[in-house]
Chain A
Amino acid sequence: AQKITQTQPGMFVQEKEAVTLDCTYDTSDQSYGLFWYKQPSSGEMIFLIYQGSYDEQNATEGRYSLNFQKARKSANLVISASQLGDSAMYFCAMREGKGDQFYFGTGTSLTVIP
């Protein structure tokens, strides 16, 4: 089974609008961490936001927030007030409490339309 599933290969959003990128995960560990990364065409992997499995509050970092629904095993990224510079590939990822692995989803390509 896939550890991380991103079902939206591509998304479009109007500039200044909010957008939600979906991510579901699969783990039997009680301790895990969820990450979102942005990867522009230059290729570097830019850290956006982190949510620990024991964190009770949803994580927020500026215009990014993570909608963490533990029972549904979902960790959707919400980008508010989209900007043209947000156009990029977005990856959801997970680390489990045991082991060294870092699991990536297949990514969502976001295009912001002026």
Chain B
Amino acid sequence: DAMVIQNPRYQVTQFGKPVTLSCSQTLNHNVMYWYQQKSSQAPKLLFHYYDKDFNNEADTPDNFQSRRPNTSFCFLDIRSPGLGDAAMYLCATSRDRGAGRGYTFGSGTRLTVV
């Protein structure tokens, strides 16, 4: 029944070694989001896709990239992880834009950088 699935749940990566986090959805939602959440803070939007249209937040570092090869999958690539990139990464989906209630989070990937 899982609708937004994030893999892996926990990821340990080495400083500077590229890492990819994945998100898949069975909801056929148009919009997919990536958030970074550091300890005791609110989630911070990194970027989102509306269908194939990529929208990057102005303050998202260049070190973070994303791919959405099809409706179901979205990837977050961190090209050279630093210690400051250790965080929970949350994927979310939404059927469409606007104020409706259909907004679903995955269970997150907790990234540790060593």
Which positions in A face B, CB cutoff 8 Å?
29, 31-33, 35, 37, 42-45, 47, 50, 52-53, 91, 95-102, 104-107
Contacts and interface: CB of A to CB of B under 8 A. Distances in A.
B74 interface: no
A105 B43 CA distance: 9
A47 B105 contact: yes
A99 B105 contact: no
B50 A52 contact: no
A95 B55 CA distance: 17
Nearest to A6: B42
B99 A32 contact: yes
A98 B97 CA distance: 7
A56 to B, nearest CB: 16
Contacts of B48: 100
A33 B42 contact: no
Contacts of A29: 99
A45 B90 contact: yes
Contacts of A95: 98-100, 103
Contacts of A99: 97
A31 B101 CA distance: 12
A101 B47 CA distance: 10
B38 to A, nearest CB: 12
A35 B103 contact: yes
Contact of A102 (B55, B88, B92, B106): B92
Contacts of A53: 99
Contacts of A107: 40-42
Contacts of A98: 97-98
A106 B99 contact: no
Contacts of B81: none
Contacts of B37: 43
List 9 tightest A-B contacts by C-beta distance, closest first.
A33-B99, A45-B105, A50-B101, A104-B42, A44-B107, A43-B108, A97-B99, A32-B99, A43-B88
B97 A100 contact: yes
B110 interface: yes
